[in-house]
Amino acid sequence: MTEDELQALLEKALPPSDRHDVFVEECQDQDVRLRFSPAAGEEWTTAALLSLVDTSLRAASGLETRVSHLGVTVLRPAQAADVISLSRVIRRDGDSVHAEAWLFAHAVVEPMLHATATLRRTA
């Protein structure tokens, strides 16, 4: 899938409240890099960051998947800046997909959050 194809799928599949001006920077095989922007004058809430994690994991594993198990480690507080996510599929096993996502503030230097998940394909 190309960056433009994934961008179109995300814009179609995500409700407006979960988009956060998502921009697909890179999409290779099962590795995806997305950029999210906060609304003007707003800071990232925990709920918003979990939405970014969900979007990132599903972008890598397929938008037809849903998270069934999620582990999140917060490494640093969020900043009022763009968030870059790097997500990838670790393993596919039947209807299950195991994936991880890293969230970074503004640049891919020091991560602020790491998540691992099992996702299930939905019909």
Residues 47 and 45: their CA atoms lie apart, in Å, by 5
Burial of 120 (0-12, 13-18, 19+ CB in 10 A): middle
pLDDT score of 106: 82
pLDDT score of 117: 98
Q: Identify the CATH number of the domain defined by range 3-121.
A: 3.10.129.10
Per-residue pLDDT of the chain (123 residues; tens, 9 = 90+): 899 999 999 999 999 988 999 999 999 877 999 999 998 888 899 999 999 999 999 999 999 999 999 999 999 999 889 999 999 999 999 999 999 999 999 877 889 999 999 999 986
C-beta of residue 61 within 8 angstroms of C-beta of residue 86: no
Residues 30 and 61: their CA atoms lie apart, in Å, by 7
Which residue's structure tokens are 């194809």? 5
Q: What is the pTM of this model?
A: 0.93
pLDDT score of 35: 97
